[in-house]
Amino acid sequence: MKTSRNNLRLHRKRRVRAKVKGEAKRPRLSVFKSLKGISAQVIDDTKGKTLVFASLKEIKKAKNNLEGAKSVGELVAKKCLEKKINEVVYDRSGYKYHGKIKALAEGARTGGLKF
């Protein structure tokens, strides 16, 4: 029986999450991509709390494309800097680092976050 693409992605996600930990001074920037949009959240794994959340729905006139993903990255960076978070660990959630995932990371870097 063939494994679905999403199950393969979830397996990669578990493998990466075993190595990537978000702490109070350097939280984890986790990305989720669906067919309708893209979202990102900054998580402190020691407390198990979400510190910052941003999605495509918050941005007016944004589409689910590379420019939309970049604007989500800039928005999450802006919210992080307001909460005095400068450095994060990037968790791509098992997705390949290209396309929207790469655009979101570049948007967060231009917004002022350090990976």
pLDDT in tens, 67-101: 999 999 999 999 999 999 999 999 999 999 999 99
Q: In what order do the strands lie in the sheet with 49-55?
A: 49-55, 38-44, 28-33, 89-91
Cα–Cα distance, 12 to 7 (Å, whole number): 9
Residue 16 contacts residue 94 (beta carbons within 8 Å): yes
pLDDT value at 4 more than 80: yes
* Fold classification of 5-111 (topology level): Nucleotidyltransferase; domain 5 (3.30.420)
- Residue 48's pLDDT band, with cuts at 50, 70 and 90, is very high
Work out the mean pLDDT of the chain and round it to a whole number: 94
